[in-house]
Chain A
Amino acid sequence: MSAHSDAAAVNADRAAPARAASYLHDGYTLWSWLSSRDHKRIAILYAVSITAFFFIGATAAALMRLELFTPGADVVDADTYNRLFTAHGVIMVWMFLIPSIPSVFGNFALPLMIGARDLAFPRLNLLSWYLYAGGGLFTIAALLLGGVDTGWTFYTPYSSVFSNTHVILTLAGVLIVGFSSIATGVNFIVTVHTLRAPGMGWFKLPLFVWAIYATSVILVLATPVLAITLLLLAAERVFHVGLFNPALGGDPLLFQHLFWFYSHPAVYIMILPAMGVASEIIPCFARKRVFGYRFMAFAIIGIAVISFLVWGHHMFVSGQSAYASMVFSLLSFMVAVPSAIKVFNWTATLYKGSISFTAPMLYALGFVVLFLQGGLTGLFLASLSVDVHVTDTYFVVAHFHYIMVGGAVMAYLGAAHYWWPKITGRLYPESWARLAALIIFAGFNLTFFPQYLLGYEGMPRRYHTYPPDFQVLNVLSSAGAAILAVGYLLPLGYLLWSCLHGRPAPDNPWGASGLEWKTATPPPQHNFDRLPDGSDPPYDYPPLQE
Chain B
Amino acid sequence: MSQGLALFPPSASAAARDTDALYLALTGFSTLIAAVFIALIAIFCYRYRKNAKANRAHAPSSARGLEAAWTIAPLIVFLGLFAWSARQYALQFHAPRDATRVFIVAKQWMWTVEHPNGRREINELHIPIDTPVKLIMTSQDVIHSFFVPALRNKRDVVPGRYSTLWFRADRPGEYLLLCAEYCGTDHSEMKGRVVAMAPQDYARWMEGGASHPGLAERGFALFRRHGCMGCHAAASSVHAPELSGLLGRRVRLSDGSDVVADETYVRDSIMEPQKAIVAGYEAIMPSFKTQLNEEDISAIIEYIRSLDRDELAGERP
- Mark A residues whose CB is within 8 Å of B: 78-79, 82, 149, 151, 155, 157-158, 161-163, 246-247, 249, 251-253, 286-295, 316-319, 322, 325-326, 329-330, 333-334, 336-337, 340-341, 343-345, 347-348, 350-357, 365, 368-369, 372-373, 376-377, 379-380, 382-389, 391-393, 453, 456-458, 460-473, 543-546
Contacts and interface: CB of A to CB of B under 8 A. Distances in A.
10 contacts: A78-B186, A318-B158, A326-B89, A344-B37, A352-B55, A365-B45, A372-B37, A386-B23, A456-B7, A473-B5
Interface string B73-98: 01100110110111011101100000
B178 A385 contact: no
A472 B143 CA distance: 30
A372 B149 contact: no
A362 to B, nearest CB: 10
B3 interface: yes
Interface string B58-72: 111111001100110
A472 B78 contact: no
A379 B275 CA distance: 40
A464 B9 contact: no
Contact of A292 (B67, B183, B275): B67
Nearest to B93: A322
- Of A373, A386, A467, the most chain B CB neighbours within 10 A belong to A386
Contacts of B48: 286, 350-355
Contacts of B154: 317, 388-389, 391-392
Contacts of B9: 456-458
B70 A344 contact: yes
Interface stretch (B26-34, B196-204, B206-214, B222-230): B26-34
Cβ-closest 6 pairs across A and B: A246-B160, A458-B149, A385-B88, A384-B89, A472-B4, A383-B85
B40 A78 contact: no
Nearest to B9: A458
Contact of A82 (B18, B92, B176, B185): B185
Given A355-B45, A383-B26, A392-B147, A340 B61 contact: no
Contact of A383 (B22, B37, B176): B22
Given A356-B49, A383-B22, A460-B180, A318 B89 contact: no
B41 A347 contact: yes
B282 interface: no
B143 A292 contact: no
Interface of B: 1, 3-9, 18-19, 22-23, 26, 29-30, 33-34, 37-38, 40-41, 44-45, 48-51, 53-63, 66-67, 70-71, 74-75, 78-79, 81-82, 84-86, 88-90, 92-93, 108, 141-143, 145, 147, 149-150, 152-156, 158-161, 163, 176, 178-189, 191, 272, 275
Given A82-B184, A155-B181, A295-B62, 15 more contacts: A316-B89, A317-B155, A317-B156, A344-B70, A348-B60, A352-B57, A357-B45, A379-B26, A380-B26, A384-B88, A385-B18, A387-B85, A388-B152, A467-B176, A468-B4
Contacts of A460: 147, 178-180, 188
B82 A383 contact: yes
A543 B71 CA distance: 27
A386 B22 CA distance: 7
A386 B26 contact: yes
A343 B40 CA distance: 11
Given A353-B56, A392-B147, A546-B57, A252 B82 contact: no
B74 A462 contact: no
B240 to A, nearest CB: 22
Contacts of A365: 41, 45
A392 B44 contact: no
Nearest to B264: A319
Contacts of A294: 62
Nearest to A351: B44
The B interface is mostly helix, strand or loop, or mixed, namely: mixed
B167 to A, nearest CB: 11
B61 to A, nearest CB: 5
Contacts of A348: 60, 66
A246 B160 CA distance: 5
Contacts of A473: 4-5
B1 to A, nearest CB: 7
B89 A340 contact: no
Contact of A293 (B18, B22, B30, B62): B62
A329 B82 contact: yes
Contact of B92 (A253, A329, A385, A458): A385
A379 B79 CA distance: 11
A325 B85 CA distance: 11
A545 B57 contact: yes
A158 to B, nearest CB: 4
A376 B158 contact: no
Contacts of B55: 352, 546
Given A317-B155, A383-B82, A457-B9, A350 B41 contact: yes
Given A383-B81, A469-B6, A389 B149 contact: yes
B30 A329 contact: no
Contacts of B178: 458, 460
A213 to B, nearest CB: 21
Contacts of B79: 333
Interface-central residue, B18, B34, B79, B108, by most chain A CB under 10 Å: B34
B74 A336 contact: yes
A334 B149 contact: no
Given A355-B45, A388-B92, A340 B86 contact: no
Contacts of A351: 44, 48, 59-60
Contact of A458 (B37, B70, B147): B147
B180 A340 contact: no
B222 to A, nearest CB: 20
Given A340-B70, A385-B92, A460-B147, A470 B4 contact: yes
A252 to B, nearest CB: 6
Contact of A471 (B4, B85, B93, B179): B4
A503 B229 CA distance: 90
A8 B19 CA distance: 64
Contacts of A330: 82, 86
B161 A246 contact: yes
A180 B156 CA distance: 35
B55 to A, nearest CB: 7
B37 A78 contact: no
Contacts of B63: 292
A341 B78 CA distance: 14
A333 B82 contact: yes
B5 to A, nearest CB: 6
Contacts of A462: 182, 187-188
Contacts of B26: 379-380, 383, 386
Nearest to A395: B23
Contact of B34 (A78, A252, A355, A373): A373
Contacts of B57: 352, 544-546
A356 B5 CA distance: 40
Contacts of A340: 70, 74
Contacts of B67: 292, 295, 341, 344-345
A190 B79 CA distance: 38
A326 B89 CA distance: 9
Most buried by A among B57, B141, B142: B142
Contacts of A466: 188
B41 A386 contact: no
Contacts of B50: 287, 354-356
A152 to B, nearest CB: 11
A291 B60 contact: yes
Given A322-B89, A350-B45, A291 B62 contact: yes
B78 to A, nearest CB: 4
